Structure 1
Amino acid sequence: MHTRWNKRLVGQAAVLILVNVMVDTVITAPLIVLPQMLDHFGTDQPAWLNAGALLAGAMWAPLLGKTADIHGKRKVLVWTLVLAGVGALVCMIAPGLWVFVLGRVVQGAAVASLFLTVGIVRDICETRIGMIVTGIVTTGNAVFGIAFPFLFETLSHAYGYRVVFVVSAVFAATGALLVRFFLPESVVRTPGRVDIAGALLLGGGIAAVVTYVSLGGDFGWTGAIPLPILLAGAVALACWVRLAHRTPDPVVDITKLSRPLVLTLGVVVLGTGAYQSMLQLFSLLADVSADEGLGYGLAAEGALGMLYGIPAIGIVLGGALAGALATRVGPAATLVAGVVLGLAGTLGLFAAVATLPLAVVCSFLLSLTAGALVTSGFNMASTLAPAERQGVVSSLVMVMIAIGSVILNFVGAAVLRSTRVDVGGAAANSATGVFGYIGIGTGAFVAAGVLAVLLVRAQRRASVASDPARAVDVA
């Protein structure tokens, strides 16, 4: 295992960063060509084109995490990348909307790649260097996010929206080959079998509940379509809980979900969800000029570049700093720091909705938050699980990231829709809706902060009550 930086570790980290660049081509790159896809498929439901991969990722993650613990993380990561490539090809040739959505579901397996790369880092690195490498691997791909919008925008104008999925398939194939030949296989395995039924019930139940949130704003929370989906999800989750207590080797062992781990997952779902919802809000603010008299607006030349380009740097910086600081103060403390930065950035938006320079500062603070929360969440979860359960525990962090991002984005969008005003015969988001949106993000960060403080206190009590060498192993 690596105890310090060396050429081999640098090469392995580069391969893992490339894998996470591929994840970006699945999650964020399609947003750049979203208007073209909406026009091509003749739909006004961007959620099915945009959030489908994240929803599928939440469904895939528990199954792939358990499989990785049993059969090896490298093997599962290779097959995950192959699935993502196949899904990209299906999206590329899809003749209609629902075939495209099916492709996005398959491609959503790529979301699992992120937590598998974290698991591999923990396999090849000792804890101290592993925390730093985790921060670099989980956020280093954001550097490419600076150039990707310009690249995909240019290519899509020349070759159409399909070029995004061609690039994604190429990244997936390249990543699969590099992972297979340049990374070692896990030496720690968990004996047992994969609980397929439990994985399907858990993943399907989560996907159904999140889908209900995504559809409720458009079709009504008690509508004929969303409500049955919610009920089906609730039944699936109830069946999963019952099965988990009866199965000797469940996909997620509920009895081993320690209090610190539950608190960590709560911080991740609230914190990353709040950040992602603010990111969505920036695009809406940048589309309106302050001169329109709506009480907000950041439209100006280069506004989007400043609001989205600078965060790419902040995400990398936040992840690297969180990883380095975690070796000194612990990942629980860096989780608190990340939440505090996010709360400061979100509160600042109340005054920055019509002032671009201040909004850029808030955007940078929120990007630091994103890097710190993702890195610290994975680091914290890794310290709370034995080696043979790293895949499952890391998959739960990924599920929380996906759920938080989707739910708070759709809740915020529902608030904006319900408070629209008529301006010159056209509907526009009101200042009330925008400030309400920010208020939801603020509330999420406050709740995440409370959970983070409870986590720190729980860790301190565990350190006092146990042997110092085992203070972090409270799972």
Structure 2
Amino acid sequence: MPSTSTLHTAWNKRLVGQVAVLILVNVVVDTVITAPLIVLPQMLDHFGTDQPAWLNASALLAGAMWAPLLGKTADVHGKRKLLVLTLVLAGAGALVCMIASSLWVFVLGRVVQGAAVASLFLTVGIVRDLCESRIAMIVTGIVTTGNAVFGIVFPFVFESLSHAYGYRIVFIVSGVLAAAGALLVRFFLPESVIRTPGRIDVAGALLLGGGLAAVVGYISLGAEFGWISPALLLLLAGAAALAGWYVTARRVPEPIVDIGNLGRPLVLTLLVVVLGTGAYQSMLQLFSLLADVSPDQGLGYGLAAEGALGLLYGVPAIGIVLGGTLAGALATRVGPAVTLMGGVALGLVATLGLFAGVSTLALAVVCSFMLSLTAGTLVTSGFNMAAVLAPPHRQGVVSSLVMVMIAIGSVVLNFAGAAVLKSTSVRVDGSTENSAAGVFGYIGLGTGAFVAAGVLALLLVRTVRRTSPSTAVGVA
């Protein structure tokens, strides 16, 4: 472990520069995951497809597949080295997407780009290598959510550029930022001196990552093509891969994830993260649907108004940064388990407010801001909780599991909500519309996820306080 004399114990110019580099890395992640949504209609027209799932979710699914392997490799070979590699892969994937002439070549590029998703948890691990435990919690909040500030201007910039230069401009910008990030990381961040001697269970990593991606892929496609369809093959293949991984993990001496050594607090943390972040992401998806319907249509909901989308999606970017920073600061006093529980409680209140906010723009904006605070709090607290539970030599693996849960929760709850809407749609004046029952059922699904996450978060707080008082207040 690094000498305590080499760790940052307070803010200084060098730490500010290093944090700026790490925030830039997570801006690259944004350009991979969210920026393509801005030009999604153009991409659908270009490739002649009406299946946005392949264009949108492929990078996030690939991120879930990449994460376990990259997490273990980072522990063995160094986090900075792996962070540079993920950024290089992200740049290469952006290049493939830019020149792709067919849908499947484009999807291949998105899968390669998905390696950038691993960059988020690697930046968290690097923060732990740079900073003393207490300041590390605050820095983690800033690094994991600071990139959201750019989310305020990105939609306007990319929308304008895409009208002038086409959808490819998004991937050009993403590739340039990835290259710049790789260079800055290589020359301005130190390599971790912490190593985990041993071998990498590549077969286990491929089984785990591939199994997760296949199962989540089935959920995404099943909601659109039907649960009993050729997509069912993905579920069967994913289940077989996960079963193979489980058997392998029990037999090999150094599994990619040591199942028997996870511990109850970490398992509870991962469950809270998957439910909480999934519920938040599903509500975010709902806002775009609500903003497309006018209350005058008489459907029982609707928020369409001048500037509605800007209010619903622009204001939350501030809340994400604020939530992450405050969660990091509070964790130094009350512990990350408590801040994680607080984030879930805030999300539950916001989601309940949406039952009345589906037709009142002002209330919906308030709920959106509260949910953005929830998002920043959950992500920061999830990573901080995992960091204090994991020993230094396992930071990469444990942080990767948090990233996997974020990806799975986001995809599963989004598509589960979409399935609820599809099953309750109604015909109005010859067109298919989402019914009020479907919208309220959608919100009910998110509410249920937050309630379940709240129960698990309460168990986590009690477990942590009972087993390790020092961890409860954030001392690793």
- TM class, shorter-chain normalised? over 0.9
TM-superposed deviation, 1:255: 1.2
CA distance in structure 1 between the aligned counterparts of 2:42 and 2:156, rounded to whole angstroms: 16
The 8 Å contact of residues 388 and 471 in structure 2, kept in 1 or not, is answered as no
Aligned to 1:304: 309
The 8 Å contact of residues 462 and 471 in structure 1, kept in 2 or not, is answered as no
Aligned to 1:8: 14
CA distance in structure 2 between the aligned counterparts of 1:177 and 1:236, rounded to whole angstroms: 36
Aligned to 1:73: 79
Structure 1 portions without partners, runs of 5+ = none
| SS in structure 1 of the partner of residue 11 of structure 2 | coil
CA distance in structure 1 between the aligned counterparts of 2:280 and 2:240, rounded to whole angstroms: 30
CA distance in structure 2 between the aligned counterparts of 1:401 and 1:453, rounded to whole angstroms: 20
The 8 Å contact of residues 315 and 369 in structure 1, kept in 2 or not, is answered as yes
Q: Kindly provide the CA deviation profile for residues 160-189 of structure 1, in whole angstroms up to 9, marking residues without a partner as x.
A: 000000000001000000000000000110
Aligned to 1:170: 176
Residue 377 of structure 2 aligns to which amino acid in structure 1? A
Aligned to 2:438: 433
Which residue of 214, 225, 229 maps to 2:220? Answer: 214
Q: Kindly provide the CA deviation profile for residues 109-139 of structure 1, in whole angstroms up to 9, marking residues without a partner as x.
A: 0000000000000001010000000000000
Aligned to 2:191: 185
Residue 82 of structure 2 aligns to which amino acid in structure 1? V
TM-superposed deviation, 1:226: 1.9
| SS in structure 1 of the partner of residue 194 of structure 2 | coil
Which residue of 116, 123, 126 maps to 2:122? Answer: 116
1:450 aligns with 2:450: no
Aligned to 1:26: 32
Which residue of 135, 157, 171 maps to 1:151? Answer: 157
CA distance in structure 2 between the aligned counterparts of 1:411 and 1:80, rounded to whole angstroms: 30
Aligned to 1:61: 67
| SS in structure 1 of the partner of residue 421 of structure 2 | helix
Which segment drifts farther, 248-257 or 79-88? 248-257
Aligned to 1:292: 297
Cα RMSD, aligned residues only: 1.1
Aligned to 1:44: 50
CA distance in structure 2 between the aligned counterparts of 1:116 and 1:48, rounded to whole angstroms: 26
The 8 Å contact of residues 384 and 473 in structure 1, kept in 2 or not, is answered as no
The 8 Å contact of residues 268 and 400 in structure 1, kept in 2 or not, is answered as yes
- Residues 10-409 of structure 1 aligned to structure 2 (within 5 Å): 10-223=16-229, 225-409=230-414
Which segment drifts farther, 248-257 or 374-383? 248-257
Which segment drifts farther, 164-173 or 244-253? 244-253
TM-superposed deviation, 1:408: 0.4
The 8 Å contact of residues 385 and 473 in structure 1, kept in 2 or not, is answered as no
Q: Which runs of 4+ in 1 moved over 6 A?
A: 469-474
Q: Kindly provide the CA deviation profile for residues 301-328 of structure 1, in whole angstroms up to 9, marking residues without a partner as x.
A: 0000000000000000000000000000
CA distance in structure 2 between the aligned counterparts of 1:220 and 1:292, rounded to whole angstroms: 29
| SS in structure 2 of the partner of residue 456 of structure 1 | helix
The 8 Å contact of residues 462 and 472 in structure 1, kept in 2 or not, is answered as no
Equivalenced residues, count: 470
Structure 2 portions without partners, runs of 5+ = 1-6
The 8 Å contact of residues 54 and 111 in structure 1, kept in 2 or not, is answered as yes
CA distance in structure 2 between the aligned counterparts of 1:18 and 1:302, rounded to whole angstroms: 29
CA distance in structure 2 between the aligned counterparts of 1:35 and 1:74, rounded to whole angstroms: 36
Residue 49 of structure 1 aligns to which amino acid in structure 2? L
Q: 1:241 to 1:183 in 2, by over 3 A?
A: same
| SS in structure 1 of the partner of residue 468 of structure 2 | helix
The 8 Å contact of residues 58 and 403 in structure 1, kept in 2 or not, is answered as yes
| SS in structure 1 of the partner of residue 427 of structure 2 | strand
Q: Kindly provide the CA deviation profile for residues 219-254 of structure 1, in whole angstroms up to 9, marking residues without a partner as x.
A: 22122x122211111110010011011111111111
| SS in structure 2 of the partner of residue 216 of structure 1 | helix
CA distance in structure 2 between the aligned counterparts of 1:13 and 1:60, rounded to whole angstroms: 24
1:420 aligns with 2:433: no
Q: Kindly provide the CA deviation profile for residues 411-453 of structure 1, in whole angstroms up to 9, marking residues without a partner as x.
A: 1011111111111101011111100100000000000000000
CA distance in structure 2 between the aligned counterparts of 1:463 and 1:431, rounded to whole angstroms: 47
TM-superposed deviation, 1:266: 0.3
CA distance in structure 2 between the aligned counterparts of 1:27 and 1:460, rounded to whole angstroms: 36
CA distance in structure 1 between the aligned counterparts of 2:130 and 2:197, rounded to whole angstroms: 20
Q: 1:166 to 1:146 in 2, by over 3 A?
A: same
Q: Kindly provide the CA deviation profile for residues 18-46 of structure 1, in whole angstroms up to 9, marking residues without a partner as x.
A: 00000000000000000111111111111
CA distance in structure 2 between the aligned counterparts of 1:167 and 1:313, rounded to whole angstroms: 23
The 8 Å contact of residues 134 and 475 in structure 2, kept in 1 or not, is answered as no
The 8 Å contact of residues 384 and 472 in structure 1, kept in 2 or not, is answered as no
Identity level (%): 80
The 8 Å contact of residues 81 and 113 in structure 1, kept in 2 or not, is answered as yes
CA distance in structure 1 between the aligned counterparts of 2:468 and 2:93, rounded to whole angstroms: 46
TM-score, normalisation: structure 2: 0.98
The 8 Å contact of residues 194 and 392 in structure 2, kept in 1 or not, is answered as yes
The 8 Å contact of residues 198 and 240 in structure 1, kept in 2 or not, is answered as yes
TM-superposed deviation, 1:463: 3.0
The 8 Å contact of residues 209 and 233 in structure 1, kept in 2 or not, is answered as yes
| SS in structure 1 of the partner of residue 432 of structure 2 | strand
TM-superposed deviation, 1:194: 1.2
